[in-house]
Structures are given as C-alpha cells and as structure tokens.
Structure 1
Amino acid sequence: MFETLQPAAYGVSTVFWTLSTTSILLRIYSRRYVIKSFGWDDICMSSILFFNTAQEAILYIFLHYGGGLHIAGVDTENLLILTKCLFAEEIYYIWMHFIIKTCFLLFYLRLSNTQRFTQSVYATMALNTIFTITIWLIYCFQCTPLAAFFNAAAYPNAKCLSKAVSYYFVASLSITTDVIILVLPIPTLWKLQASVRRRITLIAVITFGGSAVLVSFLRLIVLHEFDVNPDFTYTLGKMVIISAVELDVAIMAANAPSMKALWLKYISKKPFQSTTTGGNRSSSYRKESSGDTNNELSTIPAKSNRIKKSGHTRVTSADCGTTPGVGEEQDQRWRNDSKEELFQESSGGITVTSTVGVQSKRDTITSPELLNRQYFQFQKSSAV
C-alpha cells in the first residue's frame, strides 16, 4: 500500500480535466465554425466547461486538506473541513451527472426523427430529473439533525440512514440512467439505411460513453471501502481519482460526435479529392453517391431539381456537365457529415441520386433547313 495517494490523485485528475476541457473547446469550435449548427446541447456543454472547473477545484481542496493521506497524519481540524467538503461534493457531484446526462439527451433530441424516439428521450429526461431530486433529498436528510453528519459524536441520539441507502442505492440510481442513455439510440442507429460496417462504427462511437458506466461500477468498490475502512482520508484519495475519471470520460464521450467534422476538415481530406473535371466525379465521391452513406445531403449536386414521387426522390441536375468545386463540396461535407447527419434515417424510403450530363455536338448535327439551303446552292452553281 502506498503511503500517500496524493501524487497519483493530482496527476490523474489534472490530466483527465485537461483532456475533457480540450474536448469541450474543440466541440464548441466544430459546432459553431465548421458544422455551423450550434444547438441547445452545445450550450449545455459550454456551461459544463465552467461547472467541471469548479468540480476540479473541489477535488483539489480534498487533496489539500489531507485526502489521499492516512488518517493518522491528518489534523482533526482538517478532518472536519473534509467532512463538510464531502457533503458539498455529494450535492455537486450529482449536479454534474445531471448536466452531463442532459447534454447527451439534448443531443439525442435534436437528432430525433420519430415520435417514439422523441418520447423516449423526454421520458429519460424526466427520469433523470426525478432521480436527481431524489438523491438530493436523500443526502439532505441522511441524518436528523443534519449536523450529526459532520460531527456524529456531538449528536449521539441522531438518526441517520444506513450506508446501503446513502451509498449503494444512490449509486444504483445514477448507474440506471447511465445505462438507459447508453442503449437508448442503439435501435435507431441499427435501422439506418447504411452498410453494416458504418452502422457498427456509429454504434461504437455512441457507446464510447459505456466506459463511464464501467467507471461508475468501480465507484461502488470505493464506496464499499468508505463503509468498511476506517482510514477515511486515504479512501478519499481513491474517490478523487474515480470521480475525476468518471465525469471527465463522460464529458469526452458526449463530445466525441463533434470530432468527426474536424477530422474530415483538417486531417482526412481524401473523400473530397476530385481527379476529373466536367461531368465526371472521382471514384470515391461516386462511391458515396451510390447510396452507401445513408442518404447524406452532401452527395447532391450544388444545383439540382428534386422531384418527389410515391415516397421516393429523384434528383436531376440543372447544371448539366458541370461539377461544383472541390472546396464547395468540402464545405458542404464538413457541415453535413457529422454524426447528426449520419444518425438521421430517411423517412421517405430509398433516395436515388443521379447526375445526367448532356453534351451538344453542333458540328455534327445538320438541320433540315440547312440541308435545303445547301441543295439549292448546289443546283444554282450547277446551272451556271
């Protein structure tokens, strides 16, 4: 056993806070300046930028007053401060979970394309709110009077909830909403009109948040140590590490969808390269236009007329023989080829996109009037 967990706690919490903060800033840039679709979920995540900084400050306070050290080496005054900070962290930690989960659900809501899925998202929002209020009430009334939570010796007749309620029941409510949010979009993603490989990729990106659920289960182990281990301050150092990893991984998972637009714009530019001119496109672009990209709007030419009939869409080019510039295609892809576009399922059946090129060969076409005129000219010259 290490004599102190403070170096590890400081290092882990700082590294993960830096990563999550960077992911938030990249998301804001991607949504506002690349995709140019800044929604309520992005506003929610922008607020988390400040809330998570406050959360990191609380973790630093724990470590400053003895968290991660053995209880024998911590002053009694610091123990009282740590107990008060622990109560504040209980309330604030649940708020962090609530706001991060709300960000996930707002993202699902803006992508919703069916009434059933929309209702499921709203129901999960309501459940998240109910669970959050319930947990706050449990924390606020875990001891009667509440002062007994901070100094149990001064209130020998106080009544407090069992650890099974304040620790495990509370954690189970939080994990329940984590699991629901994790699996909620999977059925819709699997029904997308896309290749199996593409659907599996999207599900993998979405379920990246499952790593946060795994950390939540690890938190149960630390809560058990709080229950049975009298070395409160040393176990608190473990709790600092688990809390930092759990919340920051959840934040990065929520921001992962926005990273694709940055990847396409600044790193992987192959889908936009054009190798021919005129009415032809590159093989990569033609492959995407063949319907393997789930009806992405970016595969439609810049100028087109859409004819809808019997639930299908036919696209005819109004600018035959021309191809929009590579930069123009890139801008459209950066805005539309985010996961929101891939997530949305076509509700009007199969979309067929085609470009028809028309070439006029005037030198080889002779009108009847011209033939007659040439004939009379020939007869006249023959008579002379």
Structure 2
Amino acid sequence: MTSEQGLTNQRVCVGVAATLTTLSIIVVGLRTYTRAIIVRNFGLDDYAMLASLLFAIGYLIAIIVLRDNGLGFSGQVLSPEHMVNQVRTTLAIQVIYYILINTIKISILFFYLRIAAGKRLEILSKCTIGFLATLCTICVICSLAQCIPLHKMWDFTGEVDGRCINDTALFYTSSSINILVDIWILILPVATLLKVRRPRKEKVALVSIFSLGVFSTIASIVRLHAIRIYTESSDPFFDSVPINLWSQVEVNVGILCASIPSLKALFLPGQRQRTRTSAYQYHSRGKSGAQEVGGSGTALAETGGKSKTDSFALDNMEVSNEHDHGEVLPPAGLQSQD
C-alpha cells in the first residue's frame, strides 16, 4: 500500500470522526441547555446522554492516537512500536464502544420511562435496561480477558505463552445482538402511538420522528459488513479504517437522533411558558388519568405528592383510554442509538 493511500485513509477516518463528534457536542450541549434551563426537567435520560458524549469524545481521542501510530497504513510499513500501540488503542476502543453504544440505548429507554403512563412500557423498558447493562458488562469483560495474559494480544514475536478467545465470534455476536436491540427499541413504543387521538397526517409525522433511530440501525448493519472486512483481512492494520469509520457513524448518529427531538422548546419560545404544565398522572397503584397537556408540555406523574416522572408532550395530545393501562405519547419526537 502506498503512503498516499494510508494518508487518505487517515484523513477520511479522522475527518468523519471529528466532524460527527463536534456535531454531537453541539447538539447534546443544546439539549442540556434546553432540558436544564428552558424545560427545567433534567432527567436520567439526559445524564445518560451526557455520559455517552464523554465516551464519544474518548473515542475521538483514541482515533487520533491511532492516527499518530499509523492508522490506515499497511502493517508492512509500520514499526513494531506503532503496531503494538495500535493494538493497545484498539482494545481501548472496544471497551469504549461497548459502553458508548449501550449508554445511548439506555438513555432512550430512560426517556421511555418518562412517558410510560402504564405498566407495559415501563416494565419492558426497565427489563431492556437491565439486559443492556448485563450485555455491556459481559462484552467489556470479554474484551479485557480476550487474551490471558492480556499482553499476549500485542505480542508479535510468539514469545508470550498464553491463549486468546475467538474475538471474531465476539464481534459478530455482540454486533448482531446490538442490531436486534435497535429494532426492539424502535418498536417498543408502537402501542403508545396507536392510542394517540390525532389526525392521520399527524400520526404519520409522529411515526417519522420515532423512526429517526432507523439511521443508526442502518449504520450498525453496515458496520457488521466492516467487521467482516476487518476479521478476514490479511492486513488488519490497513483494513481497520472501515470498522472505525462506521462505528463513529453509528454512535454519533445515535446520539444525534436521540437528542435532536429534545430541542423543540429551544426553537418555540411561545411554549416555554407552558413547559411545567401537568399532562398525565401516573399513580403508584398503576392507574393513570389524562390531565391537561399544553405547549411542549410535560407529562407529570405524582406519587404521594412528589413527581415520579416528568417529560415532554405534544400539543393537545390525547391518548385513548380503551385499555386499563394507557401509555403517554412522547414529546415532539422519539429520542432514538448509540
């Protein structure tokens, strides 16, 4: 591979990573301002998204470290020191990625808990959060224990005794589960949408907003193809660019899709006066009742006089009460993943 090809690979990967991470910083910053200052309702979903942003910045830093150690160049032209540094940094990226992608999804599920006025969505969201936390822990442990001793992972001399797991199986398994969970999170609030008393045109608009997460899911699928390129490559140092490129697209698009809908109040000043309007009450006994919804609104559930959850709501939104446990529609849009 020529040095020009290596430099081109570097520029593309670092350029995309820096651009997308900068956009994520801006959007999450605006989200934080909107939720903490304008809406005055900063919740667990917002904290989780801030954590996601920190790991996204960490991922960008790791990409820069890879660049300084020959990212995109063939292993034939890299020094042993650069190859060792790349492998060590790749290990750090694996850990960062697993925490980052799952934190994005957990942020979305915490948002679902804000709008859950019935037990179904609440229980399913909590169970999914538990599953993701367990999955993340397993993936991180497997990454850190993929070679025993760990430094055998970057031993190119064959002098270190030990053994390594099949990391290809880990990559494919975790990525496949990741895609399935993406789809699950997308369909999870469908029952809520079906209960909304709005004109068909507005329902179509709501579905479109909820479907923003499809873009992140598509990136996850493309990343799966990049994993195949990487794991089957005869020169993984050169072919490490596609997997890092699409991982960056996946996580940052997830952050953007999950955060942009939260900015509604920022661009609708007339609604800021009504952001503390009580919309729905969800009592500890499981009975929910429809209350007033106004402006960008907030869905307020109280137990014993204290707020259980508080979220956005759509203008004049109404939810059908045909079932015993209704569910409240989210705000101006879905916070999508990852």
Task: Compute the TM-score of the two structures, normalised by the length of structure 1.
Answer: 0.69
Which residue matches 1:53? Answer: 57
The 1:53/1:163 distance shift into structure 2, 3 A limit, reads closer
What is the aligned counterpart of 1:36 among 40, 62, 83? 40
The 1:75/1:348 distance shift into structure 2, 3 A limit, reads same
Amino acid at match of 1:52: A
Residues 260 and 339 of structure 1 are in contact (CA less than 8 Å); yes or no, is this contact kept in structure 2?
A: no
- Distance in structure 1 (CA, Å) of the matches to 2:216 and 2:56: 16
Residues 1:86 and 2:90 are matched in the alignment: yes
Residues 105 and 121 of structure 1 are in contact (CA less than 8 Å); yes or no, is this contact kept in structure 2?
A: yes
Moved more, 171-180 or 144-153: 144-153
- After TM superposition, list the pairs within 5 Å mapping 1:226-241 onto structure 2: 226-241=230-245
Amino acid at match of 1:162: N
- After TM superposition, list the pairs within 5 Å mapping 1:113-262 onto structure 2: 113-151=117-155, 153-154=157-158, 158-262=162-266
User: Post-superposition, which runs of at least 4 consecutive aligned residues in structure 1 deviate over 6 A?
Assistant: 311-315
Amino acid at match of 2:90: L
What is the aligned counterpart of 1:333 among 292, 295, 303? 295
Please provide the CA RMSD for this pair.
Answer: 3.2
Q: CA deviation at 1:86?
A: 0.9
- Aligned residue pair count: 296
Which residue matches 2:314? Answer: 342
Question: Deviations along 1:36-78, whole A, 9 cap, x unmatched?
Answer: 2222211222333333222211111112211112222221210
Residues 195 and 319 of structure 2 are in contact (CA less than 8 Å); yes or no, is this contact kept in structure 1?
A: no
Which residue matches 1:9? Answer: 13
Q: CA deviation at 1:108?
A: 0.7
Question: Deviations along 1:310-352, whole A, 9 cap, x unmatched?
Answer: x99999xxxxxxxxxxxxxxxx625559983139754667xxx
Between the two proteins, what is the percent identity of the paired residues? Answer: 24
Which residue matches 1:361? Answer: none
SS in 1 for 2:212: helix
Residues 104 and 255 of structure 2 are in contact (CA less than 8 Å); yes or no, is this contact kept in structure 1?
A: yes
Which residue matches 1:289? Answer: none
Q: CA deviation at 1:6?
A: 0.9
Q: CA deviation at 1:156?
A: 7.3
Instruction: Answer 1 or 2: higher relative contact order, Cα 8 Å, separation at least 6.
Output: 2
Q: Which runs of 5+ in 1 are unaligned?
A: 273-296, 300-310, 316-331, 350-384
Amino acid at match of 2:295: R
Residues 196 and 320 of structure 2 are in contact (CA less than 8 Å); yes or no, is this contact kept in structure 1?
A: no
Residues 87 and 154 of structure 2 are in contact (CA less than 8 Å); yes or no, is this contact kept in structure 1?
A: yes
Q: Which has the larger radius of gyration?
A: 1
What is the aligned counterpart of 2:107 among 98, 103, 107? 103
Task: Compute the TM-score of the two structures, normalised by the length of structure 2.
Answer: 0.78
- Distance in structure 2 (CA, Å) of the matches to 1:251 and 1:55: 13
